Chain A
Amino acid sequence: MASPAPANSLRSGPDANGHFGIFGGRYVAETLMPLILQVEEAYTAAKLDPEFQREFEYYQKHYIGRPSPLFFAERLTNHFGGGKLYFKRDELNHTGAHKINNVIGQALLARRMGKTKIIAETGAGQHGVATATACALFGMECEVFMGAVDVERQKPNVDRMRLLGAKVHPVTSGSSTLKDAMNEALRYWVSKPDTHFYIIGTVAGPHPYPAMVRDFQSVIGIETREQMLEAEGRLPDTLVAAIGGGSNAMGLFHPFLDDTDVALVGVEAGGYGIDTGQHAASLTGGRPGVLHGNRTYLLQDEDGQITEAHSISAGLDYPGIGPEHSWLHELGRVNYVSVTDDEALEAFALCTRKEGIIPALEPSHALAHVAKMIGDLPKDHIVVMNLCGRGDKDVDAVIPKLEAKGLV
């Protein structure tokens, strides 16, 4: 976890009530309030307990396989003709994405609290798989809520969850995607307040989840910092990460927030293009609102009704974003951009052929942005991109699209 932040640091948020500026907070029904207050109390105590830290680090090292490598992507660097591109290889974690970093932390917390039953929501299925994995490891019951649309487009992950012993609930309310899965998980949680712990998969939801998930994910940035100092003797110039809810990006960015010479770029899912309205870019195309327990940028209509997001990537297909990102956006500390489905697909194919790494569609968005900007940079400009997940889960969905483009 991150070292204590100095005064006036951008790393000291949120305040006692979970606010990052006007964002964050605890906008939940009274039925949920006692539950999230319990989680907050338990997490505050765990943070100060060296035994909890020791356990967390043990599983990070021996189960997840951390630290993940920092890899110089030499062939892509040559291909782009500018800058120097490194990948933070979080796709090499056990279960194939960064999601497990947070899940192990929350599962250990649940165990400390004496909870033996776990609820999770999932979009692409990576968080669901990670949660099912941790539950198998710790002998806990696991129930995963997943939009019916996502159950279809991420079938391999559904089967993995079932193999691991989890019960997958397809959610058919609303748009049948990630936001509806989260609604349903919250509804389920309020009906089982005594026995269940809800492991949220991203830096969103009511306080303390955005801060807690960030803390568990910040190992990504802490390692990147050390590895970069070792490899290059200095900090990187630019960090790039894809953003749905924003947990992999926050994990990478957070330890660098006070290093103002390090440029931070978050890449949202532009779907068919921001102009079409069919996208998942909450910061680029949304405005502040309240959903799922926090105030943050949301895709919504004039009347405050939440609109459906669209992305080729199920993991980015969410009409909101973590509140800390909204805050960093308004402060201007992080630059948020977007790329389209097509651009992400091309990056997916490029990474596969040039580096022998099949990336998930989520980090393919980050790479698509890198492809746009890195060619013009000087050769000594170091860019680190978070390769936050592997693409095996996407192969079935991607192949026909790449065939149509003549890219395979």
Chain B
Amino acid sequence: MGAGVGRIDAKFASLKEQGRAGLGVFITAGDPDAKTSAALLKGLPGAGADMVEFGMPFTDPMADGPAIQEASQRALKGGMTLKGTLALVREFRQDNQDMPIILMGYYNPIYAYGVDAFLTDALDAGADGLIVVDLPPEEDDELCIPALKKDMAFIRLATPTTDDKRLPKVLTNTAGFVYYVSIAGITGTASASNDMITSAVERLKRHTDLPVCVGFGIKTAQQAADVAKVADGAIVGTAVVNAIKDSLDGEGRATDKTVPTTLDFVKTLADGVRGART
């Protein structure tokens, strides 16, 4: 199986064959420390996650609510870097060739690393796609085009404010899947209604053949199941990050419970997604 776009395409083809939607899980690399992050990553496929959005910590996450901001801060405090994030991806890939890893974050750490060096190292480590929140199509020359040339998927966010006129621009130069941000706002706040999500997914499907995954505001197994009825994937971030946070000790350090309780929560989400269309 090919890395990059190929691994994502293969995953969605397999999901289609199984007649179900996928579950994407967001965790921040190094939250609260590298060792715990590695254990969580390793456990995710077994807990039923189909794909990981692996957060690259940043000091100033402009599109994120308090939960993911704090996860970034815990990771940075624990010494996580972009290099460290890629090392975690590499470690995971030793035993798993099947689950796509999408690196998700902001542009400045990548810019500081150097775009070419980053793409080479990220692909070599086994990452398959990028979601870089602060790179809209207007800045495609920065990273999107160089990524696509190397078969690294550049996954775009479409939002309720992206109207039909703008949508084609957003969908150009994208690969892997389209990430529909179901609310106007930041991560971990309100949830959209099922009707709104259904009509938004239908609208996107009129514009693209790519799989459509929905995220922002999915907090429970029931909500994940509702999304899984109409979309190709449901992505859960804040709720998983909160599960990690709730398991930490008073000083924000991991405990014995951190990995099992987080993976248990992922399992309930996965059960919701898998049962959605039966």
A residues in contact (CB < 8 Å) with B: 17, 25-31, 33-35, 173-174, 179-180, 183, 186-187, 190-193, 288-293, 298, 300, 302-306
**In the complex, what residue of chain A is closest to B112 when comparing beta carbons?**
A304
**Residues of chain B from 44 to 94 with CB closer than 8 A to chain A in the complex:** 58-66, 69, 76, 81-83
- Hey, which chain B residues are within 8 Å of A28, CB to CB? 62, 134, 136
> Bound state CA distance, A291 and B139, in angstroms?
14
- Hey, which chain A residues are within 8 Å of B183, CB to CB? 191
Query: How near does chain B come to A390, taking the closest CB pair, in angstroms?
Result: 31
> Bound state CA distance, A30 and B138, in angstroms?
10
> Bound state CA distance, A386 and B76, in angstroms?
40
Contact A31–B109 (Cβ < 8 Å): no
Out of B110, B157, B185, name the residue touching A30 (CB < 8 Å): B157
Query: How near does chain A come to B158, taking the closest CB pair, in angstroms?
Result: 7
Known contacts A173-B69, A292-B62; A29 and B136 CB within 8 A of each other: yes
Out of A29, A191, A192, A306, name the residue touching B157 (CB < 8 Å): A29
B residues in contact (CB < 8 Å) with A: 58-66, 69, 76, 81-83, 106-113, 133-136, 138-139, 156-159, 161-163, 166, 170, 181, 183-186, 189
Contact A291–B60 (Cβ < 8 Å): yes
Contact A30–B60 (Cβ < 8 Å): no
- Hey, which chain A residues are within 8 Å of B106, CB to CB? 290
A-B contact pairs, 21 of them (CB 8 A): A17-B138, A27-B135, A27-B139, A28-B62, A31-B157, A31-B161, A33-B162, A33-B166, A34-B161, A34-B166, A35-B161, A174-B60, A180-B60, A289-B112, A290-B134, A292-B62, A303-B112, A304-B82, A304-B108, A304-B109, A304-B113
- Hey, which chain B residues are within 8 Å of A30, CB to CB? 136, 156-159, 161-162, 170, 181
Query: How near does chain A come to B166, taking the closest CB pair, in angstroms?
Result: 6
Query: How near does chain B come to A331, taking the closest CB pair, in angstroms?
Result: 21
- Hey, which chain A residues are within 8 Å of B166, CB to CB? 33-34
> Bound state CA distance, A325 and B15, in angstroms?
51
Query: How near does chain B come to A173, taking the closest CB pair, in angstroms?
Result: 6
- Hey, which chain A residues are within 8 Å of B58, CB to CB? 304-305
**In the complex, what residue of chain B is closest to A192 when comparing beta carbons?**
B184
> Bound state CA distance, A173 and B59, in angstroms?
10
Contact B60–A31 (Cβ < 8 Å): no
Q: Which 10 A-B pairs have the closest CB atoms?
A: A304-B112, A304-B109, A191-B185, A29-B63, A304-B108, A31-B159, A303-B81, A306-B59, A34-B161, A27-B134
> Bound state CA distance, A379 and B87, in angstroms?
63
Out of B76, B81, B139, B186, name the residue touching A25 (CB < 8 Å): B139
Out of B66, B76, B113, B133, name the residue touching A29 (CB < 8 Å): B133
Query: How near does chain A come to B199, taking the closest CB pair, in angstroms?
Result: 18
Query: How near does chain B come to A341, taking the closest CB pair, in angstroms?
Result: 24
- Hey, which chain B residues are within 8 Å of A291, CB to CB? 60, 108
Contact B66–A173 (Cβ < 8 Å): yes
- Hey, which chain B residues are within 8 Å of A190, CB to CB? 63, 184-186
> Bound state CA distance, A26 and B60, in angstroms?
16
- Hey, which chain B residues are within 8 Å of A305, CB to CB? 58-59, 76, 108-109
Contact B189–A289 (Cβ < 8 Å): no
Out of A33, A35, A179, A303, name the residue touching B60 (CB < 8 Å): A179
> Bound state CA distance, A17 and B136, in angstroms?
12
Query: How near does chain B come to A33, taking the closest CB pair, in angstroms?
Result: 5
Query: How near does chain B come to A18, taking the closest CB pair, in angstroms?
Result: 9
Q: Which of B133, B134, B170 has the most CB of A within 10 A?
A: B134
- Hey, which chain A residues are within 8 Å of B76, CB to CB? 305
- Hey, which chain A residues are within 8 Å of B69, CB to CB? 173-174
- Hey, which chain B residues are within 8 Å of A174, CB to CB? 59-60, 69
Known contacts A183-B62, A300-B112; A293 and B134 CB within 8 A of each other: yes
> Bound state CA distance, A174 and B166, in angstroms?
33
Contact A27–B59 (Cβ < 8 Å): no
> Bound state CA distance, A28 and B63, in angstroms?
9
- Hey, which chain A residues are within 8 Å of B63, CB to CB? 29, 31, 187, 190
- Hey, which chain B residues are within 8 Å of A31, CB to CB? 63, 157, 159, 161, 181, 184-185
> Bound state CA distance, A306 and B184, in angstroms?
26
